[in-house]
Amino acid sequence: MKKPKGKPDSKKVRIMETEEIELLNSWIDSQKPESGSNPLSFPPLEKKEPIGRVGEGDNFSRYVGATRFDQLPISKRTKTGLKAAGFVKMTEIQRASLPHSLCWRDILGAAKTGSGKTLAFVITVLEKLYRERWGPEDGVGSIIISPTRELAHQLFDVLKAVGKQHNFSAGLLIGGRKDLDTEKERVNELNILVCTPGRLLQHMDETPNFDCSQLQVLVLDEADRILDVGFKKALNAIVSQLPKHRQTLLFSATQTKSVQDLARLSLKDPEYLSVHEESVTATPNHLQQTAMIVPLDQKLDMLWSFIKAHLNSKILVFLSSCKQVKFVFEAFKKLRPGIPLKCLHGRMKQERRMGIYAQFCEKRSVLFSTDVASRGLDFNKAVDWVVQVDCPEDVASYIHRVGRTARYTSGGRSVLFLMPSEMKMLEKLQASKVPVQFIKANTKRLQPVSGLLSALLVKHPEMQQLAQRSFITYLRSIHIQKDKEVFDVMKLSIDEFSASLGLPMTPKVRFLNQKVKGKTGPGKPSVLEIENFDKEDASVILKEELLTDDFEEDKVDRDLLQTKDTEEEGKASIMDDVMPATRVLKKKKLKINVHRPVGSRVVFDEEGNTLPPLAMLADAKSVNILLDQDQKKEYYKKLREELKHADKEDKLLDRQRRRDKRGLSTW
């Protein structure tokens, strides 16, 4: 009787691993590609070609031009994990980057959305630590930074699937969790960290003995977003605590070659790999993209009609701000379109966000979202439609949004709603090799929803505040945008937009009123003052969110959006407009009134001006909204009477219909 096979001796395992590592190092060194070369230009390897050592001596097969993972000089553990996860053939970005990254070169990779960039750096991380014989006592060996929590969670799942045969310890460090103390206890024992910038910086500042001095590989996923001004301070603080002698990998769908950005990350002669740079289109070939003119006051009508016409599809809808997402979701949910509705934005708690993401992956539904869902997320089952109700801020944002559909080899469709004042965006998309087809909307099939929203606000008074905030945050998002060729708040039909949301009267927005006064009056002080105020507020919000880890959401998640201007560019633009900028920005100092009675209350508005003590109590929730309450009550009273009258007529008609059905007389 044969003895059952037990676990292999640990000493034998170590010897086998040592021999394998020596073989891999010899293979990589003997066949490594020249720096600056493109592995895609080499002829692909045939299936029957020998792999690894060929004959006797140090002759090895070439791995540049490999099309399958088993043709690469990687460990058996990684190959087993790849095969178990269903990864056999390599995509273009993997074929281009892996031959260089396995030689420990810095990589700056750009490829279309859904092209397999995640696997390209996950394999590199696993192989680097394996060949260095990294263990638990060695501490943090690799850090993978993602701009959003959902994307970090997705990267962590891929890492677990591919690296399950390895003995590395890995952890997911993201905000929105309550187990920070547990993380602090265990973070020093982890070898691989998948994290968001805010949480990583928090551990660097607060966790005792948190050490990254032995870091081997730093990965930035969606690198263009992390290198943006919104993450500038956090990234600088993180990089300052990392060793300069490391391998750095940057991957994104839209890549940067800024010398300043690369110097910040200490990249040394990086390999620029843009596999689709010479492609005819900047987006996946099997993605059908359309754009149509939709006036601002008809956007919700068009969105409602689109959803009603595609009840059997999985639809991802992008809006500019959290308040818009909340309002449209709550309003459409009460109107019951006949398909499950969900919403996702940066203000939600992490557990709820991940739950909604998982639900949307499983079944057909409509997901209303801000740009928090536009970066890197790969929904398990294909998204049929991406609907951009609000125009993206630039071409890069558009590419990332439509990239949520048509992943890998699956097809997908997208539609972009453009206002007449935003037609410049269509020209910019076409100039950037984005094949957008312009179509005309079929107004005959348009189902108006503004009347239903008006009745909804009467029936549910709590929705009024949500509609008002949605109105204001959208106008702010347009006002703050950098590209004034596309975004001009003064060209918007504001009254019609307010009515389309179901509001009885147009809310008065303070910053918009000041801008109108500045344009009509002599000089431009009021315009400049409000624009400077918005930029200052944006920097304050950025600083606060940097400390609370909420800053990792996209700019559109904030009530007050911020531009991509650097500090120097912002100052320069202000000086170009007006020379005596200090005179405009300088505020009058408040003097202490010694005659004021003790205990009196002073109330300030958002700009720092004093208000009467009870002014804020009149409408505490809407500081920027000034409505005539009498007119408002009269309007709602009239609406209630009309609804009662219509309800009475409907009941009579229904009673008559039932009697006719039973064949009774109408006496």
Q: What is the DSSP string of 68-119?
A: BGGGSS--HHHHHHHHHTT--B--HHHHHHHHHHTTT--EEEE--TTS-HHH
Specify the higher pLDDT residue, 73 or 57: 73
- Residue-wise pLDDT tens digits, 373-432: 776 566 656 788 999 999 999 888 898 888 878 665 667 899 999 999 999 999 999 888
Q: Are 22 and 41 in contact (CB under 8 A)?
A: no
Span(s) in the chain for CATH 3.40.50.300: 12-274, 287-480
- Lowest average pLDDT, out of 84-88, 106-110, 265-269, 453-457, goes to 265-269
The CATH number of 287-480 is 3.40.50.300
Whether residue 87 is predicted with pLDDT greater than 80 in this model: the reply is: yes
With H, G, I as helix, E, B as strand and everything else as coil, classify residue 420: helix
Residue 526 has pLDDT above 50, yes or no: no
Residue 27 clears pLDDT 60, i.e. is over it: yes
What's the CA gap between 382 and 494, in Å, rounded? 37
CA distances from 46 to 58, 98, 593 (A): 21, 18, 88
- Three-state secondary-structure class, residue 592: coil
Contact between 127 and 72 under an 8 Å Cβ cutoff? The reply is no
Which residue intervals of 266-366 are DSSP H helices? 299-309, 322-335, 350-362
For the chain, give the mean pLDDT: 79
Instruction: State the DSSP H helix or E strand holding residue 441, giving kind and residue range, or none if neither.
Output: none
Give the separation between CA 632 and CA 623, rounded to whole angstroms: 17
What is the amino acid identity at position 554? D
Q: Which amino acid is at 293?
A: I
**Token duo for residue 443:** 């107004």
How, if at all, do strands 341-344 and 366-369 pair? Answer: parallel
Most confident region among 157-161, 392-396, 593-597 by mean pLDDT: 157-161
- pLDDT at res. 605: 60
Structure tokens that stand for 663 in this block: 């064949």
pLDDT for residue 338: 92
Token pair for residue 297? 């006051």
Could you give the CA distance from residue 516 to residue 235 in angstroms, rounded to a whole number?
39
For residue 142, what are the β-bridge partners? 192, 217
The answer to whether the Cα torsion of 501, 505, 509, 515 is positive or negative is: positive
- The CATH T-level fold of domain 12-274 is Rossmann fold (3.40.50)
Give the phi and the psi of residue 386 in degrees, each rounded to 5.
-115, 120
Cβ distance 28 to 102 under 8 Å?
yes
Assess contact for 384 and 412: CB atoms under 8 A: yes
Asked whether 483 and 393 are in contact (CB, 8 A), the reply is yes
The two tokens of residue 365 are 């539904």
Of 582, 603, 605, 492, nearest to 529 by C-alpha is: 582
Q: Can you tell me which residue has the tokens 């890549």?
A: 255
Q: Measured between alpha carbons, how far is 428 from 274 in angstroms, rounded to an integer?
A: 21
The gap from C-alpha 140 to its chain's centroid, in whole angstroms, comes to 27
Per-residue pLDDT reduced to its tens digit, 195-244: 999 999 999 999 988 999 999 999 998 887 787 767 888 888 999 999 98
Whether the Cβ atoms of residue 177 and residue 115 lie closer than 8 Å to each other? no
